[in-house]
Amino acid sequence: MTAATTEKLGDRIVNDIKSSRLVKVPHCGHVPMNEAPDAFVNYVLPFLEETSS
């Protein structure tokens, strides 16, 4: 699967799942929680706060 295919799939999935978000972390591959933990937390915590209430 190419990067373009992966990006198209991500766009499709985010449109199909209510309340979802697609975040593209620069210079990061498939494991953002390990590759960019600070960015991961900065995106995930606000999402969890918004969707948990």
Q: How far is CA 48 from the centre of its chain?
A: 13
* pLDDT given at position 13: 92
Residue labelled with tokens 């979802």: 20
CA distances from 5 to 11, 14, 19, 45 (A): 10, 14, 23, 28
Of the candidates 10, 12, 34, the one whose C-alpha atom is nearest the C-alpha of residue 23 is 10
Residue type, 24: K
* pLDDT given at position 3: 66
Each residue's pLDDT tens digit in the chain (53 positions)?
676 678 889 899 999 998 899 998 988 888 999 999 999 999 999 999 998 87
* pLDDT given at position 4: 67
